[in-house]
A and B are shown apart, each in its own frame.
Chain A
Amino acid sequence: MLANWKLKEVVLMSLLAVVFGIIYLVFLHIGNIWSSLIGPIAYEWIFGVWFLVSIVAMAIIRKPGAAVVPEVMAAAIEVMLGNAVGPRLILAGLVQGLGAEAAFAATRYRRFDLPVLIMAGVGASLFSFAYGYLLGGFSALSPWYVALMLGIRILSGAVIAGYGGSLIVNGLYATGSLRGYAIARQKRDVRV
């Protein structure tokens, strides 16, 4: 996997991870403050934010691993900046990234259009919910409440991560800075 990654792709993943890592931290604190009022369900609405880097990086680089690695990197950056979720964020990032990666792997890394990006957001939601279910002790909550949380998280993953991610990628593509990456090559080939 690593062998056919160019260095500039890996450094790009890392820089995306830094930008999104900061955004993640901001939203973590928003979620925390809000959740004191309405409980852990406060995180669910904004959960899609935490999947963004997977989707943006994969849409640009288009190689196996380009969803999971930046997500783990963003988590590592959050740890390096220091916060009380700490190293366990790296595991959370790994799980979320694998969820997004699964959707892209299902298309054999051939399609990167909006439906696939939305499916990647949903995949990340499902994986991360399973992880949260274990660590957050959701099994102690009543099933309909858990189902509500899951529903909101899937919606958030689809809208914020999937649709929002595609908006970011298209905006970034329009600036012309992605010329050296797979997204530009494929768009050029497909162009009618």
Chain B
Amino acid sequence: MSTWLHRLNPSIKMLVTFVFIFALAFYFDPWTPLFVFIAVLVVQLLFSRINWKRWALLMLPFSLGAVGYFWTTYVFGTSDDRLETALSLSFRVFAFSSLSLLFVLTTSPMQFIMSVMQQLKLSPKLAYSLLVGYQFLPVLKDEFIQIRQVQQLRKPQVQKSTLAKLRALPSVAIPLLAGAVRKAEKTAFAMEARGFTGTRDRTYFHEVRLERFDLYFSVVLIVIFTSCLVVGATL
């Protein structure tokens, strides 16, 4: 039971989070988003094994944003009960963020793209290109460090203020992007040389299937979250 969220088909998981994020956009009372937030926490606790430290770390910046939302709505709001709306909008931030983490922390990037390609019919040309880009992340990171070190050698910067660092960013970004452009050409050539056509009539090494489990479990999730919305609407 504690791995159900991890097992759920990523496309289905994504669609479920989309539906409830959009549904929440129409609620301006404080209770509904709060209920959804609590429900998400319970679901996350029951059906997944995640690193809660990482969860808290990812939630932190958005909790700060929620504070800003609260006072902005309180000061600049127009509704009759501004405190209620302000609370609602900041709880909405919590509900959105937790729903997103429900997806992000239980889905592997590879499975996600494979599922979008196989269930939602994303073109393999786009899907595999995206995975190529993802694989280049560590390479680009190394290159970023290297470019900065080289520039330090050629023209050492004495001042280390944040503003000076920001101003130096374009001189790092251009060589980094130029390297990325060259990598793109080489990689595309290598892929085509190995017979990659990008057409849909292909086989998959990593097959992601839709199973009966996906149906049952997504219904469970939908029932849980919908009941929050219904209870919130009747309050």
Contact = CB atoms under 8 A, between A and B. Distances in A.
Interface of A: 2, 5-8, 10-19, 22, 28-29, 31-33, 35-42, 69, 73, 76-77, 79-88, 91, 134-137, 140-143, 145, 167-168, 171-172, 175, 177-178, 180
Given A32-B62, A37-B68, A86 B123 contact: no
B133 A11 contact: yes
Contact of B130 (A77, A141, A172): A77
Nearest to B176: A19
B84 to A, nearest CB: 10
A15 B105 contact: no
B132 interface: yes
Interface stretch (B85-93, B152-160, B210-218, B220-228): B85-93
A69 B61 CA distance: 28
A82 to B, nearest CB: 5
Nearest to A79: B104
Given A39-B69, A79-B112, A141-B73, A18 B61 contact: no
A136 B64 CA distance: 15
Contact of A167 (B79, B101, B126, B170): B170
Contact of A140 (B21, B78, B129, B140): B78
Q: Which 5 A-B pairs have the closest CB atoms?
A: A86-B100, A39-B72, A14-B133, A8-B188, A36-B64
Interface stretch (B41-49, B189-197, B201-209): B189-197
Given A10-B129, A168-B177, A36 B99 contact: no
Interface string B146-182: 0000000000000000000000001001111111111
Contacts of B129: 7, 10-11, 13-14, 73
Contacts, number: 205
A177 B14 contact: no
Nearest to B183: A15
Interface residues of A, dominant DSSP: helix
Contacts of A76: 113, 130
B18 to A, nearest CB: 7
B208 to A, nearest CB: 15
Nearest to B16: A87
Given A8-B184, A14-B132, A177-B179, 12 more contacts: A2-B123, A2-B126, A2-B198, A14-B129, A14-B130, A18-B133, A22-B140, A33-B61, A40-B65, A137-B85, A140-B79, A140-B85
B105 A82 contact: yes
Contacts of B132: 11, 14-15
A11 B184 contact: yes
A15 B109 contact: no
Contacts of B98: 84
B62 A137 contact: no
Contacts of A136: 89
B101 A77 contact: no
B31 interface: no
5 contacts: A69-B126, A76-B113, A84-B104, A85-B100, A137-B25
B37 interface: no
B16 to A, nearest CB: 10
Contacts of A36: 64-65, 67-68
A84 B177 contact: no
A124 to B, nearest CB: 20
Interface in B110-138: 112-113, 123, 125-126, 129-130, 132-134, 136-137
Contact of B77 (A29, A35, A38, A142): A142
A10 B126 contact: yes
